[in-house]
Amino acid sequence: ETGVTQTPRHLVMGMTNKKSLKCEQHLGHNAMYWYKQSAKKPLELMFVYSLEERVENNSVPSRFSPECPNSSHLFLHLHTLQPEDSALYLCASSQDPVSGNSYNEQFFGPGTRLTVL
């Protein structure tokens, strides 16, 4: 596997379900991100982890819960979602320049298409 992978690619869930999205990066990066992409809206940054610590949480509802167990893996735990949460969820990674590099572009996974019924 290379780059950034996301599983599952498609997910349909009811409002009372609990599910998790998984992201894995194979680039040796130390920062990871969750984005939400809805139709007709710009990409919304949800969470940022740098060196496995959460550094940003952009007023995301608590029904979304991120977890970053190590620098290669990122999860988004979902529970009691609403139909308006249906969207493409994108994961990205980058090399944190605090570590010395200025190589700061983000590399994206293919996304998980989530449908909440």
Partner 1 sequence: AQSVTQLDSHVSVSEGTPVLLRCNYSSSYSPSLFWYVQHPNKGLQLLLKYTSAATLVKGINGFEAEFKKSETSFHLTKPSAHMSDAAEYFCVVSENYGQNFVFGPGTRLSVLP
User: Does residue 105 interact with partner 1 by CB under 8 A?
Assistant: yes
Q: Is 106 in the site for partner 1 (CB under 8 A)?
A: yes
Q: How many residues bind partner 1 (CB under 8 A)?
A: 28
DSSP string, the chain: --SEEEE-SEEEE-TT-EEEEEEEE-S--SEEEEEEE-TTS--EEEEEEETTEEEEE-S--TTEEEEEEETTEEEEEEES--GGG-EEEEEEEE--GGGS------EE---EEEEE-
Q: Is residue 104 a contact point for partner 1 (CB under 8 A)?
A: yes
Q: Is 11 in the site for partner 1 (CB under 8 A)?
A: no
CB of 41 to partner 1, least distance (A): 8
- In this chain, which stretch among 12-20, 40-48, 63-71, 76-84 interacts with partner 1, using CB under 8 A? 40-48
CA-CA distance, 87 to 89, in Å (whole number)? Answer: 6
The contact mask relative to partner 1 for 47-76 (x = CB under 8 A, - = no) is -x-x----xx--------------------
**If we measure between CA atoms, which residue out of 45, 47, 37 comes closest to residue 85?**
37
Interaction site with partner 1 (CB under 8 A): 4, 6, 31, 33, 41-43, 45, 48, 50, 55-56, 90, 92, 94, 96-98, 102, 104-111, 113
